[in-house]
Structure 1
Amino acid sequence: MSKTMRLSDAEQEAIRQKAIEINKLLINKGHPPLKDSELVHKILAKAVPCVQLSKDGEIILEGL
């Protein structure tokens, strides 16, 4: 699998906005902010084990 993944402009913006939101919360709790890429790695580490296929063939996240 490729180490590089292309994201649409909308996906990039959604990650940027979520990073801003999370980093404000982290800073308020006295933690250092995360880079966008670090946030994506943490999200993937939590989400990938939960990915399932529904009976309808839809990708879903179970157990989050």
Structure 2
Amino acid sequence: MSKMIRLTKDEFRVLEDKTRKINKELVRLEKSPMKESEMLHKILLDAIEKAEINRDGEVVLGS
């Protein structure tokens, strides 16, 4: 089942910048670059695994 997620312009700009930076490194390592959607899926899965609640009741990314 697929769902859509909306990003703000700022969120998408940050994603584009991070994707560009990581893709430069991937190319340098002779690996295939990633699309923004692939990058976002990877980041979301990793972040969800690390999501926790701190003492103040805020959602934070643990290790």
Same fold, TM-score > 0.5, yes or no: yes
Residue 54 of structure 1 aligns with an amino acid whose one-letter code is N
Q: Identify unmatched segments of 5+ residues in structure 2.
A: none
After TM superposition, the runs of 4+ consecutive aligned structure 1 residues lying more than 6 A away are none
Q: How many residues align?
A: 62
RMSD after superposition = 1.1
How many Å separate the matches in 2 of 1:34 and 1:12?
15
Normalised by the length of structure 1, the TM-score is 0.91
Query: What is the TM-score of this pair, normalised by structure 2?
Result: 0.92
Identity among equivalent positions (%) equals 37
Q: Report the counterpart of residue 47 of structure 2 in structure 1.
A: 47
- Secondary structure at the aligned position of 1:57 is classed as coil
Structure 1 gap segments, 5+ residues each: none
The offset of 1:57, in angstroms, is 1.4
Distance 2:35 2:6 in 1: 18
